[in-house]
């Protein structure tokens, strides 16, 4: 008996072209068993700065993103830490797609949080800010294992695969996350 692939919306919190977190997201996706999941990256750099005056007439990029989230079984947040919190560009995406009041695209979508940075705390404080936001948005968010990933030589190899030293942990994280999403998409 096989189950259909889960469609996962991926939100990378950085717009930088060579973003470590985008590399981590792409490497994680390769760990998904064949046929288990498909991943769609949301283009948060295409969104306008959120302005409540636009609620009745949201920009096409906002509507498209809300439709992509609605079509997904779960959301994977892969984000850096900026100034001890989440990037403004990530919060702007959360704000845009949560509106108008009563029409949030996020509600009920199971979420996973992971992030990497060169620093030792590996985005821990950004994640601590993101969790209560996702709670308010009514996104069931995977608790354990937490994943505070330090970007070091060898974390991701030249072919974009997770390196040997972290593969077991991150394989376990991804498997647990996909099981979490599946729990909510019966």
Q: How far is the CB of 137 from its own copies (least distance, A)?
A: 6
Q: Does 91 bind its own copies (CB under 8 A)?
A: yes
Instruction: Give CA–CA dist 186/180, Å, rounded.
Output: 11
Q: Is 57 in the site for its own copies (CB under 8 A)?
A: no
Residue with smaller CB distance to its own copies, 59 or 89:
89
Q: Collect all residues with Cβ–Cβ distance below 8 Å to 136 and sequence separation of at least 6.
A: none
Query: Closest approach of Cβ 36 to its own copies, in Å?
Result: 31
**CA distances to 21, 58, 60 from 78, in Å:** 6, 25, 24
Q: How far is the CB of 120 from its own copies (least distance, A)?
A: 15
Helical H segments across 78-163, by residue range = 88-97, 124-136
- Binds its own copies (CB under 8 A): choice among 1, 83, 120, 164: 83
Handedness of CA 152, 86, 128, 98 (dihedral sign): negative
Shortest Å, Cβ 83 to its own copies: 5
Among 7, 38, 85, 176, contact with its own copies (rule: CB under 8 A) = 85
Q: Would you say 8 and 73 are in contact if contact means Cβ atoms under 8 Å apart?
A: yes
20 makes contact with its own copies (CB under 8 A)? no
Q: What is the secondary structure of 49-84 as a DSSP string?
A: PP-GGGGGG--HHHHHHHHHHHT-SEEEEE---BTT
Least spacing, CB of residue 93 vs its own copies, in Å: 7
Of 70, 71, 103, 129, the residue at the interface with its own copies (CB under 8 A) is 129
Q: Interface with its own copies includes 92 (CB under 8 A)?
A: yes
| Site of interaction with its own copies (CB under 8 A) | 14-17, 44-45, 47, 49-53, 82-96, 98, 125, 129, 132-133, 135-137
């Amino acid at each position: 008996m096989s189950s259909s692939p889960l469609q996962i919306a991926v939100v990378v919190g950085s717009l930088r072209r060579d973003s470590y977190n985008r590399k981590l997201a792409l490497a994680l996706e390769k760990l998904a068993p064949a046929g288990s999941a498909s991943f769609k990256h949301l283009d948060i750099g295409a969104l306008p700065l959120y302005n409540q005056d636009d609620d009745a007439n949201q920009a096409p990029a906002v509507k498209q993103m809300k439709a992509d989230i609605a079509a997904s079984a779960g959301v994977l947040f892969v984000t850096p830490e900026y100034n001890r919190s989440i990037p403004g560009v990530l919060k702007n995406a959360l704000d845009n797609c949560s509106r108008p009041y009563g029409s949030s695209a996020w509600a009920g979508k199971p979420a996973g949080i992971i992030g990497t940075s060169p620093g030792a705390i590996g985005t821990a404080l950004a994640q601590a800010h993101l969790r209560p936001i996702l709670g308010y948005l009514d996104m069931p968010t995977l608790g354990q294992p937490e994943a505070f990933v330090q970007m070091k030589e060898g974390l991701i190899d030249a072919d974009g695969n997770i390196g040997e030293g972290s593969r077991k942990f991150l394989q376990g994280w991804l498997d647990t996350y996909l099981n979490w999403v599946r729990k909510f998409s019966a």
